[in-house]
Amino acid sequence: MKRSPTYNLAQPTKFHPPTLSSPQATIPKPPMIALLQRVTEAKVVVDGNTIGAINAGLMVLVCAEREDAEKQADDLLKKLLAYRVFSDDAGKMNRSVTDVQGGLLLVPQFTLAADTNSGTRPSFTPAAPPELGRQLFDYFVAQARSKHAQVETGSFGADMKVSLTNDGPVTFWLKTK
Protein backbone atom coordinates (compact mmCIF):
# COMPACT_ATOMS: atom_id res chain seq x y z
CA MET A 1 0.00 0.00 0.00
CA LYS A 2 1.37 3.42 -0.93
CA ARG A 3 2.07 5.69 2.05
CA SER A 4 0.79 9.24 2.13
CA PRO A 5 3.46 11.94 2.02
CA THR A 6 4.27 13.63 5.30
CA TYR A 7 5.02 17.28 5.94
CA ASN A 8 6.86 19.26 8.60
CA LEU A 9 4.57 21.96 9.88
CA ALA A 10 5.97 21.89 13.39
CA GLN A 11 8.08 25.05 13.49
CA PRO A 12 7.16 27.54 10.78
CA THR A 13 8.22 31.13 11.42
CA LYS A 14 7.51 34.47 9.81
CA PHE A 15 10.63 34.05 7.71
CA HIS A 16 10.52 30.29 7.24
CA PRO A 17 7.11 29.01 6.15
CA PRO A 18 6.22 25.33 6.61
CA THR A 19 8.24 22.93 4.50
CA LEU A 20 6.87 19.99 2.61
CA SER A 21 9.85 17.69 3.11
CA SER A 22 9.98 16.40 6.67
CA PRO A 23 8.28 13.23 7.97
CA GLN A 24 7.42 14.86 11.33
CA ALA A 25 3.83 15.95 10.69
CA THR A 26 1.02 14.88 8.42
CA ILE A 27 -1.56 16.84 6.48
CA PRO A 28 -5.13 16.19 7.66
CA LYS A 29 -7.19 13.74 5.64
CA PRO A 30 -9.80 15.16 3.27
CA PRO A 31 -13.41 15.30 4.40
CA MET A 32 -16.35 13.22 3.33
CA ILE A 33 -18.87 15.28 1.40
CA ALA A 34 -22.61 15.70 1.84
CA LEU A 35 -24.96 17.78 -0.25
CA LEU A 36 -28.10 18.18 1.83
CA GLN A 37 -31.44 19.50 0.70
CA ARG A 38 -34.35 20.32 2.96
CA VAL A 39 -37.36 18.59 1.45
CA THR A 40 -41.08 18.20 1.93
CA GLU A 41 -40.76 14.76 0.32
CA ALA A 42 -38.13 12.68 -1.47
CA LYS A 43 -37.76 9.18 -2.84
CA VAL A 44 -35.36 6.87 -4.64
CA VAL A 45 -36.54 4.46 -7.33
CA VAL A 46 -34.48 1.55 -8.70
CA ASP A 47 -35.82 -0.65 -11.52
CA GLY A 48 -39.27 0.90 -11.11
CA ASN A 49 -39.45 0.14 -7.37
CA THR A 50 -39.32 2.75 -4.63
CA ILE A 51 -36.52 1.64 -2.30
CA GLY A 52 -36.45 4.66 0.02
CA ALA A 53 -38.85 7.52 0.69
CA ILE A 54 -39.36 10.24 3.29
CA ASN A 55 -41.74 13.08 3.94
CA ALA A 56 -40.37 16.29 5.50
CA GLY A 57 -36.68 16.07 6.31
CA LEU A 58 -33.33 15.99 4.53
CA MET A 59 -32.34 14.29 1.30
CA VAL A 60 -28.56 13.90 1.52
CA LEU A 61 -26.18 12.96 -1.29
CA VAL A 62 -23.13 11.36 0.34
CA CYS A 63 -19.65 10.92 -1.12
CA ALA A 64 -16.42 9.43 0.21
CA GLU A 65 -13.04 10.51 -1.08
CA ARG A 66 -9.90 8.36 -1.41
CA GLU A 67 -8.37 9.04 2.00
CA ASP A 68 -11.62 8.93 3.99
CA ALA A 69 -12.14 6.57 6.91
CA GLU A 70 -14.78 5.92 9.57
CA LYS A 71 -13.67 9.01 11.51
CA GLN A 72 -14.64 11.27 8.61
CA ALA A 73 -18.00 9.48 8.36
CA ASP A 74 -18.60 9.93 12.10
CA ASP A 75 -17.67 13.62 11.94
CA LEU A 76 -19.94 14.22 8.95
CA LEU A 77 -22.90 12.44 10.55
CA LYS A 78 -22.48 14.38 13.78
CA LYS A 79 -22.53 17.64 11.84
CA LEU A 80 -25.43 16.55 9.63
CA LEU A 81 -27.69 15.56 12.52
CA ALA A 82 -27.00 18.83 14.36
CA TYR A 83 -27.02 21.18 11.34
CA ARG A 84 -29.77 23.75 11.83
CA VAL A 85 -31.72 24.17 8.59
CA PHE A 86 -35.32 24.06 9.84
CA SER A 87 -37.18 27.15 11.03
CA ASP A 88 -37.99 27.80 14.66
CA ASP A 89 -41.10 29.67 15.82
CA ALA A 90 -39.43 32.98 14.96
CA GLY A 91 -38.77 31.84 11.38
CA LYS A 92 -34.99 31.48 11.81
CA MET A 93 -33.08 28.40 10.72
CA ASN A 94 -32.47 27.20 14.24
CA ARG A 95 -33.62 23.57 14.34
CA SER A 96 -31.92 20.39 13.17
CA VAL A 97 -33.40 17.31 11.52
CA THR A 98 -33.12 15.68 14.94
CA ASP A 99 -35.03 18.55 16.58
CA VAL A 100 -37.91 18.32 14.09
CA GLN A 101 -37.82 14.50 13.96
CA GLY A 102 -37.56 14.67 10.18
CA GLY A 103 -36.68 11.90 7.80
CA LEU A 104 -33.23 11.29 6.36
CA LEU A 105 -32.86 9.94 2.85
CA LEU A 106 -29.19 9.05 2.34
CA VAL A 107 -28.13 8.58 -1.28
CA PRO A 108 -24.61 7.56 -2.35
CA GLN A 109 -23.19 9.80 -5.09
CA PHE A 110 -19.50 9.53 -5.94
CA THR A 111 -19.72 12.33 -8.53
CA LEU A 112 -19.63 14.92 -5.71
CA ALA A 113 -15.88 14.30 -5.51
CA ALA A 114 -15.32 15.18 -9.17
CA ASP A 115 -12.37 17.35 -10.08
CA THR A 116 -13.76 19.91 -12.53
CA ASN A 117 -10.77 22.25 -12.63
CA SER A 118 -9.59 21.46 -16.14
CA GLY A 119 -11.12 20.53 -19.43
CA THR A 120 -14.75 19.76 -20.12
CA ARG A 121 -14.90 16.27 -18.66
CA PRO A 122 -14.87 15.66 -14.90
CA SER A 123 -12.20 13.49 -13.32
CA PHE A 124 -13.31 11.14 -10.56
CA THR A 125 -9.79 10.44 -9.27
CA PRO A 126 -10.54 12.10 -5.89
CA ALA A 127 -13.50 9.76 -5.26
CA ALA A 128 -13.00 6.70 -3.09
CA PRO A 129 -12.61 3.43 -5.01
CA PRO A 130 -15.96 1.59 -5.23
CA GLU A 131 -15.21 -0.96 -2.49
CA LEU A 132 -14.12 1.74 -0.02
CA GLY A 133 -17.00 4.00 -1.04
CA ARG A 134 -19.50 1.20 -0.41
CA GLN A 135 -17.96 0.31 2.97
CA LEU A 136 -18.02 3.93 4.14
CA PHE A 137 -21.56 4.53 2.87
CA ASP A 138 -22.79 1.36 4.61
CA TYR A 139 -20.99 2.43 7.79
CA PHE A 140 -22.49 5.94 7.53
CA VAL A 141 -26.00 4.47 7.12
CA ALA A 142 -25.55 2.07 10.06
CA GLN A 143 -24.36 4.90 12.29
CA ALA A 144 -27.23 7.13 11.14
CA ARG A 145 -29.76 4.39 11.93
CA SER A 146 -28.30 4.01 15.42
CA LYS A 147 -28.69 7.75 16.09
CA HIS A 148 -31.81 8.82 14.16
CA ALA A 149 -35.30 7.33 14.02
CA GLN A 150 -36.17 7.58 10.32
CA VAL A 151 -33.41 6.73 7.85
CA GLU A 152 -34.01 5.59 4.28
CA THR A 153 -31.36 5.00 1.62
CA GLY A 154 -30.54 4.74 -2.01
CA SER A 155 -28.58 1.79 -3.38
CA PHE A 156 -24.81 2.02 -3.83
CA GLY A 157 -23.82 1.48 -7.46
CA ALA A 158 -27.39 1.28 -8.76
CA ASP A 159 -28.95 3.42 -11.47
CA MET A 160 -31.22 5.45 -9.22
CA LYS A 161 -34.00 7.87 -10.02
CA VAL A 162 -34.09 10.42 -7.20
CA SER A 163 -37.01 12.80 -6.93
CA LEU A 164 -37.65 15.44 -4.33
CA THR A 165 -39.55 18.57 -3.53
CA ASN A 166 -36.96 21.02 -2.25
CA ASP A 167 -38.33 23.14 0.58
CA GLY A 168 -37.19 26.74 0.26
CA PRO A 169 -35.10 25.85 -1.68
CA VAL A 170 -32.58 25.12 1.05
CA THR A 171 -29.40 23.33 -0.05
CA PHE A 172 -26.04 23.09 1.71
CA TRP A 173 -22.66 21.56 0.85
CA LEU A 174 -21.17 20.00 4.00
CA LYS A 175 -17.58 18.94 4.47
CA THR A 176 -15.93 18.00 7.71
CA LYS A 177 -12.50 19.34 8.53
- Which residues carry out catalysis? 109-111
Helices (H), the chain: 70-82, 130-147
| Helix pair 70-82, 130-147: axis angle to 10 deg | 40
Q: What are phi and psi of 96, to 5 degrees?
A: -95, 170
Distance from C-alpha of 73 to C-alpha of 33, rounded to nearest angstrom: 9
Which amino acid does the sequence have at 79?
K
Q: What are phi and psi of 143, to 5 degrees?
A: -65, -40
Strands (E), the chain: 33-46, 49-54, 57-63, 84-87, 93-96, 103-108, 151-153, 161-175
